[in-house]
Structure 1
Amino acid sequence: MPFVNSKLLGGPLFIILTPSARGERDEHALFYFWSWKAETTLKINMGSTRLLVLLAAALLLATTFPAARAQEETDHEEEFTYISGDEKGPEHWGKLKPEWAQCGAGEMQSPIDLSHERVTLVRDLGYLDHFYRAAEASIVNRGHDIMVRFDGDAGSVVINGTAYYLRQLHWHSPTEHTVDGHRYDMELHMVHESAEKKAAVIGLLYEVGRPDRFLQKMEPYLKMIADKEDREEKVGMIDPRGARGRASVYYRYMGSLTTPPCTQGVIWTIVKRVRTVSRYQLDLLREAVHDEMENNARPLQAVNNRDISIFRPYPHKRY
């Protein structure tokens, strides 16, 4: 049974040739066109020429199936929301899909409150050794947040002797993590992945004040993708060092992703120094995502018995 992979039908198109009962030449045969995705069969009785039939079949398929795909895209709904009490809200994430079960049952979930009553000073953690570099990037409106995806090698950070490579960064507003119960205006997540596919996230906290220089470079692109889910634009070479900054003091704990599937085993590093972002920049980020995602911060999760460490360098000493 010959077939071709048809972009028009979104799947393989099988062509079945059935000779006529009288065994006449193949231009009198019956051709059946069938697509598993279209779930339909087109039966065409060959007349004078094979070319006429193929053109007719192509025209028929082109005028019928694309409308079905357009309708499918129109009916798309968000898989989760941040609205408390909503059927797809944070308290229900763990029940929406089997693979999201850890969102409800996991005991090492993020975000958490970084309470100094529970924090232990651990100087042996050492400075964050990051080796970032400028790389080609794209900005993407994911509906629930705005992400800068690095399409090239943007460098890495080394944690406990393992290199974690920077894959993307995105923003939450207000902050997901709190410090002694205080929630700031915005949080940036720099998401890294090791060769073994383990995750490490560096979080930076912001309060309204002076404009953030890194976001200033993103402003024209934010306007281009505003309120357009899955829209992405190339932004050229982006240097993540402009987002990371140089602060040395940070918190460290083991947690999870803060969006479904809430995978655990994530190494979290939250920089203690609070940076600033302008009200205009904050509003630009909020307005770019869907209306129900303007406040895209997951509620605080139970700390349980986890250790929370803080690194402070010795005075006048460099590691």
Structure 2
Amino acid sequence: MQKEMDNKSLWCSSIFIALFIISCAPFAICQEVEDEHEFSYDINSHNGPDHWSEIHPEWSMCNQGDLQSPIDLTHERVQTTSKLGKLDRDYKPANATLLNRGHDMMRAQFLQLKWIGGAGHVHINGIEYHLNQLHWHTPTEHTVNGRRFNLELHLVHESIDGKVAVIGIMYKIGRPDSLLSMLEPYLKALASTKGVETSVGIINPRDIKIGSRKYYRYIGSLTTPPCTQNVIWTMVKKVRTVSREQVHMIREAVHDDAEVNARPVQALNNRWLKLYRPDDRQNN
């Protein structure tokens, strides 16, 4: 009888322990995801840009790397050259979706336009980089001689072996941007959603106006964790225009009261910038 009672007691204890582990496990996992992946752009926050490297060991490069982005495109460190060649873009129309990442678990507050199946590529230094997605930051992440503008567009490309190349375009307040005008109905619809991916039909990357053959080139990093380095940055020299209403529309869509999703400028360190200028010296 005593043996049966002992066995029953042992069985009940095992069940209790098992139930305790099962009930606690989801909470532990959720806490780990929250603690290790959440970041913000608030410089006064415990998880702001100055503390990104402390959130997760794999993000250590954010505050320890010496090739970080964005930077100030200062003319004091620019080498003008025509040897880089014109920006070789071989884009094509493709179906795309618009995703409102809002305040997701990564707290990467931006809207992302993603092409399904690829939308062509660019050639840089003999390597083919395929265009995957674009997104916006407000205000600009890069500055020009210390001046910050209102909006920055990033066209993100990746090579077959995982190398990343980003083409950046900066905007100041002025005439509306044609791409945002085209996407306006979708952007307004996304304002009441979060984490929803919406089809926007066929988008031709060539419709994104650059307006200049001149560009800055430098080696930097991703501007969000894990801040991976050796990213090839191409920043179009010409600052284009966007309407104040369009900038507000983007901020409304991500529900960002701070109106900032831009990483602060990083140290240039020993880097030099190259500025491509065509041989013909035309005013482009």
Separation of aligned partners in 1, 2:268 and 2:175: 33
Verify the 8 A CA contact 1:81 1:293 in the aligned structure 2: no
Q: 2:94 aligns with which of 135, 146, 152?
A: 135
Instruction: Determine helix, strand or coil for the equivalent of 1:236.
Output: strand
CA contact (8 A) 1:186 1:205 kept: yes
Q: Which residue of 2 aligns with 1:252?
A: 217
State the partner residue of 1:225.
Answer: 190
Q: CA deviation at 1:152?
A: 2.3
- Runs of 4+ in structure 1 deviating by more than 3 angstroms, as ranges, are 75-78
For the pair 1:173 / 2:138, whether they are aligned, the reply is yes
SS of 2:171's equivalent in the other structure is strand
> What displacement does 1:235 show?
0.6
1:145 touches 1:293 (CA, 8 Å); kept in 2? Answer: no
Counterpart contact for 1:169–1:190, Cα < 8 Å: yes
Unaligned runs of 5+ in 2: 1-17, 103-108
Equivalences for 1:1-20 in 2 at 5 Å?
none
SS in 2 for 1:165: strand
Contact 2:130 2:157 in 1 (8 A): yes
Q: Is the 8 A contact 1:81 1:292 kept in 2?
A: no
Provide the residue aligned with 1:156 in structure 2: 121
Distance apart, 1:101 and its partner CA: 0.5
Q: Give CA-to-partner distance per residue, 1:123-169, whole Å, 9 cap, x none.
A: 10000010001101100111210000111220001001111000000
Deviates more, 1:287-296 or 1:117-126: 287-296
Tell me the secondary structure at the aligned position of residue 171 of structure 1. Answer: strand
Tell me what 1:39 maps to: 22
CA distance in 1, matches of 2:201, 2:156: 19
The equivalent position to 1:113 in structure 2, one of 69, 72, 77, is 72
State the AA in 2 paired with 1:192.
Answer: H
Question: 1:189-268 maps to which residues of 2 (within 5 A)?
Answer: 189-226=154-191, 228-268=193-233
Mapped partners of 1:249, 1:316: distance in 2: 10
SS of match in other structure, 1:211? coil
- The answer (yes or no) to whether the contact 2:176–2:242 under 8 Å persists in 1 is yes
Shift of 1:177: 0.3
Do residues 286 (structure 1) and 255 (structure 2) align? no
Please identify which structure carries the higher helix content: 2
Instruction: Sort the Cα spacing of 1:76 and 1:305 in 2 relative to 1 into closer, same or farther, 3 A.
Output: closer
SS at 1:39 equivalent: helix
- Structure with the larger RCO, 1 or 2 (CA within 8 Å, 6+ apart): 2
Q: What SS does the corresponding residue of 2:76 show, helix, strand or coil?
A: coil
Q: Could you tell me which amino acid in structure 1 is paired with residue 84 of structure 2?
A: L
Match of 2:22, as an amino acid?
A: E
| CA 244–266 in structure 1, closer or farther in 2 if over 3 Å, else same | farther
TM-score by length of 1: 0.75
2-structure distance, mates of 1:292, 1:268: 29
Offset at residue 292 of structure 1 (A): 5.0
**Count, aligned residues:** 253
Contact map agreement 1:227 1:289 (CA 8 A) in 2:
no
C-alpha distance in structure 2 between counterparts of 1:83 and 1:206, whole Å: 22
SS of the equivalent of 1:201 reads strand
CA displacement 1:7-47 (0-9 Å, x = unmatched): xxxxxxxxxxxxxxxxxxxxxxxxxxxx99x937xxxxxxx
Provide closer, same or farther for how the CA distance between residues 230 and 137 of structure 1 changes in structure 2, counting only shifts above 3 A.
same
* Structure 1 match to 2:10: none
CA separation in 2, counterparts of 1:150 and 1:88?
Answer: 31
Q: Residue 280 of structure 1 aligns to which amino acid in structure 2?
A: E
Aligned CA distance change for structure 1 residues 316 and 179 (closer, same or farther; 3 Å):
closer
- Deviation (angstroms), 1:76: 6.5
Contact 2:120 2:130 in 1 (8 A): yes
Q: Distance in 1 between matches of 2:227 and 2:59?
A: 7
Secondary structure at the aligned position of 1:297 is classed as coil
Partner of 1:86 in structure 2? 45
TM-score with structure 2 setting the length: 0.84
Bigger shift: 286-295 or 273-282? 286-295
Q: Give distance in 2, aligned partners of 1:120 and 1:135.
A: 36
Q: CA RMSD in A?
A: 2.4
- CA gap of 1:154–1:255, structure 2 versus 1, over 3 A, is same
Provide the rounded CA distance (Å) in 2 between the counterparts of 1:150 and 1:247.
Answer: 24
Aligned to 1:311: 276
Structure whose residues are more often strand by fraction:
1
Query: What SS does the aligned partner of 1:218 have?
Result: helix
Preserved contact between residue 146 and residue 285 of structure 1 (Cα < 8 Å): yes
Question: Whole-Å Cα distance in 2 between the matches of residues 240 and 79 of structure 1?
Answer: 31
From the CA coordinates, give the structure whose radius of gyration is larger: 1
Give the partner amino acid of 2:159: S
Between the aligned residues of both structures, percent identity stands at: 51
Deviation, 1:291, is 2.3
TM-superposed CA distance for 1:232, in Å, is 1.4
